[in-house]
Amino acid sequence: MPWPGFVRGILSREQMMHVRSMLKEAGLKLVQCHGCFDIVHPGHIRHLRQAKSLGDVLLVSITGDDTMKKGTGRPLIPQELRAENLAALDFVDFVYIEPGPTAQDLLEWVRPDVYVKGKEYETNNDPRFGAERATVERHGGRVVFSSGDVVFSSSALIAAMEQSVDPFHARLAQLTRAPELSATNLGTILSDIRGKRLVVVGETILDTYTMCDRPDVAGESPVMTLRPLEQRRYDGGAAIIARHAAALGAIPTLVTALPDNDEGRALAARLHAEGIEVRSLRVEARIPEKQRYLVGTQKMVKIDLVEQLVLDASQQRDLMSLAVDAAGPSCDAAVVADFGLGLFSASFLTDLCAALRPLAGTLCGDVSGRRSNLLSMRQMDLVCPSENELRDATRKLSEGLPLAAWTLLDATASRNAIVTMGGDGLIAFDRLSVGDASPTVEDGSFSRRLRGEHVPALSPMAIDALGCGDALLTTAALALSTGCELLPAAFLGACAAAIQVQRLGNLPVSASEVRKMVARVHGAHLTFSTPEVLESRGSRRAVG
């Protein structure tokens, strides 16, 4: 049977039946999602992308205008335009406009292999969804629930649009209206950071940027040729965490491993000039260096000049003593940063956290690289992995992010986690104290013991992502040491990361820069406004 002329896009019923027949004949798995999709927001994107990964072809069916029951004025977007919006997504193969009030009749004749619904439907007792589920399973299909990592409500977004100058920043507007995220409160937290004693334990890294002329192709073989023009060096790893802390007004001590040579002494002198005390374990290996070759702001090649550290038992005891002495008899905060370069074994990292726990008012940790030991960080007040680091450590590769976060916090007996998601921002997970029962993943009760707050990415574009996680970790850790809650700490961390991502190279973020970012976010014209503010703006325009 020849493939039809319409390869992908919006289908009629006859075309959809033709395509379904061909998919069955070819042995291809059809995945179907159904909904209104009045505004396609980030939660929809992740939902649909995950659905596509479950099969070969993704069909998205939408409820037609005549049968949508979402309130007055809905749908906001006509069905033809809603269908076009979805068809424009590269991971959506086909779109069908369903004239009925539910997808039940459509499921009866399409008979998808997998039917994907949002996470909220997993405990939904709506008889309409029950009928859809029964139809799919009666024909041998599976019903799967998406992760629900980033939750938005189209209805809530549309309701807010009446008071909005930009419909795509509803979550940011909601956050900036929260009392704990007021500019005044965040400013107070930043002021309280000044003078806090912070101990940082981890590997120091040299980040080298070699700026090159435009690439060419070599004459002797088809390989890229780069001509270096300029070289820039930055103190990274645990050193940049200490530098961030100093720039924020804290009093940092860096505990690290350094060679007893000119290179090691020069680095210690640079940090000392910024107000950072350095206590180093002497090692033979040179300082790990990561070289990046760039054309403009585009990174072309990365070379790791890293000699893996291997500490013997005596060196581990010496490093432990350095860390404990730096923290004792008490410090406001301690950060353990495992960059996977050999300074920490899994067991030593656990012992270090146990030794620092009674000495640090706030104990935080982060990892980088596949050789790091996230699950060995115990009894932390905050861990800050990326989504990939979290999933790799917990082996929750396709499950919902809340489940992966709960698995980490439960396994490490830790309190909070901030999980970064690149351009999707971050989710701050707060472990709630409810009752004395010990929740289990199996009975699903973790969802009643874990609160997640999404903070969108605050930068409109990324110039260089290097060091964003370090800026976030340092700022959030110091904020928590002032006694604030997790959400304002995460928001300030997001502000620091937004500053870092907009510049080239690993540079410290200062308290004044964070204050300016807070003011910029609160005063941005993209943020939602109250009716009173909109009315006053309109009055000013009328007067003008």
Is residue 44 assigned to a domain?
A: yes
When pLDDT is cut at 50, 70 and 90, the band that residue 534 belongs to is very low
- Do 237 and 365 lie in one domain? The reply is yes
Question: Residue 191: what pLDDT?
Answer: 96
What does the block give as tokens for 16?
């959809």
- 257 vs 52, 130, 189, 265, CA distance in Å? 46, 60, 32, 12
Is residue 351 assigned to a domain?
A: yes
3-class DSSP assignment, residue 315: helix
Backbone angles phi, psi at 47, to 5 degrees: -60, -50
Is residue 515 assigned to a domain?
A: yes
Question: Residue 544: what pLDDT?
Answer: 28
Is residue 542 assigned to a domain?
A: no
Cα 406 to Cα 455: distance, rounded to the nearest angstrom: 19
Is residue 172 assigned to a domain?
A: no
Other CB atoms within 10 A of residue 408 CB:
25
Domain that holds residue 124: 9-156
Is residue 56 assigned to a domain?
A: yes
When pLDDT is cut at 50, 70 and 90, the band that residue 355 belongs to is very high
Is residue 98 assigned to a domain?
A: yes
Whether residue 338 is predicted with pLDDT greater than 80 in this model: the reply is yes
Average pLDDT over residues 226-230: 89
Question: Residue 241: what pLDDT?
Answer: 97
Q: What is the pLDDT of residues 466-499, one digit of tens each?
A: 899 999 999 999 999 999 999 999 999 999 999 9
- 481 vs 141, 195, 329, 381, CA distance in Å? 51, 11, 16, 10
Whether residue 262 is predicted with pLDDT greater than 90 in this model: the reply is yes
Cα 192 to Cα 199: distance, rounded to the nearest angstrom: 17
Average pLDDT over residues 507-530: 77
CATH number at residue 60: 3.40.50.620
Q: Chain-wide mean pLDDT for the chain?
A: 85
- Do 139 and 183 lie in one domain? The reply is no
- Do 148 and 44 lie in one domain? The reply is yes
- Do 476 and 411 lie in one domain? The reply is yes
Average pLDDT over residues 511-517: 94
Question: Residue 392: what pLDDT?
Answer: 92
- Do 356 and 216 lie in one domain? The reply is yes
Of 298-312, 325-339, 346-360, 468-482, which range is least confident? Answer: 298-312
What percentage of residues in the chain have a pLDDT greater than 90?
A: 55
Residue reference for tokens 């060091």: 467
Q: What is the pLDDT of residues 391-401, one digit of tens each?
A: 999 998 878 88
Number of domain units in the chain: 2
- Do 277 and 366 lie in one domain? The reply is yes
Asked if 385 and 372 touch (Cβ cutoff 8 Å), the reply is no
When pLDDT is cut at 50, 70 and 90, the band that residue 176 belongs to is confident
- Do 134 and 21 lie in one domain? The reply is yes
CATH number at residue 421: 3.40.1190.20
- Do 143 and 265 lie in one domain? The reply is no
Average pLDDT over residues 510-531: 73
Average pLDDT over residues 411-420: 95
Is residue 167 assigned to a domain?
A: no
- Do 210 and 339 lie in one domain? The reply is yes
- Provide the residue type at 251 as one letter: I
Asked if 367 and 376 touch (Cβ cutoff 8 Å), the reply is no
3-class DSSP assignment, residue 365: strand
Question: Residue 423: what pLDDT?
Answer: 83
Question: Residue 484: what pLDDT?
Answer: 97
Question: Residue 433: what pLDDT?
Answer: 67
- Do 149 and 183 lie in one domain? The reply is no
Of 58-72, 90-104, 344-358, 370-384, which range is least confident? Answer: 58-72
Q: What is the pLDDT of residues 89-123, one digit of tens each?
A: 888 999 999 988 888 999 999 999 999 988 777 77
- Do 517 and 417 lie in one domain? The reply is yes
Q: DSSP character for 386? A: B
- 60 vs 84, 94, 142, 533, CA distance in Å? 11, 6, 16, 39
What does the block give as tokens for 338?
């495992």
When pLDDT is cut at 50, 70 and 90, the band that residue 214 belongs to is confident
Q: What is the 3-state secondary structure (H, E, C) of 42-94?
A: HHHHHHHHHHHCCCCEEEEEEECHHHCCCCCCCCCCCHHHHHHHHHCCCCCCE
Of 195-204, 308-317, 393-402, which range is least confident? Answer: 393-402
- Do 145 and 181 lie in one domain? The reply is no
Average pLDDT over residues 373-386: 95
